[in-house]
Amino acid sequence: MALADEEDRGCTMASRNSAADTVDQTEHPHVVRVAGVCGGRPIIKGTRISVGHIAQLYKAGDTIEEILEAYPHLKAAAVYDAISYYLDHQQEIEQEIVENHIETLITRHGLEIDEQGFLRCRGESPFS
């Protein structure tokens, strides 16, 4: 889980976009794609919180209030819009979620989990 958690945390920090980043507005007012942020995946505007992350919370049964409690800097409208985007683009977001499962990442990057639960490149010594 460490790699997936690291990627998720990296996409949930406040955005520090450079002026060179290209922002593509979607048909949803609170959802954008920014080149160089979260791999260009759809995010809540002004954040690095991906629609996929909000969708996972929603699918796990979190209420809007619980999501807002976890992310107090978000507005309810943005969370509702992220869920709406997910529902309008379910196949795309579900694919993104699958691509970020730890099992997929382990296979894609040739990783393994050591005895302590750390991810390492196959054959890498913990003391290298």
pLDDT digits (tens, 9 = 90+) for 22-54: 999 999 999 999 999 999 999 999 999 999 999
pLDDT for residue 4:
41
Q: Which domain holds residue 60?
A: 2-101
pLDDT for residue 20:
58
* CATH (domain of 80): 1.10.10.10
Q: Residue 61 domain-assigned?
A: yes
Contacts of 117 (CB under 8 A, 6+ apart): 2
126, two tokens: 């913990």
Check residue 50 and report its DSSP letter. Answer: B
pTM, rounded to two decimals? 0.74
Share of the chain above pLDDT 70, in %: 80
Number of domains comprising the chain? 1
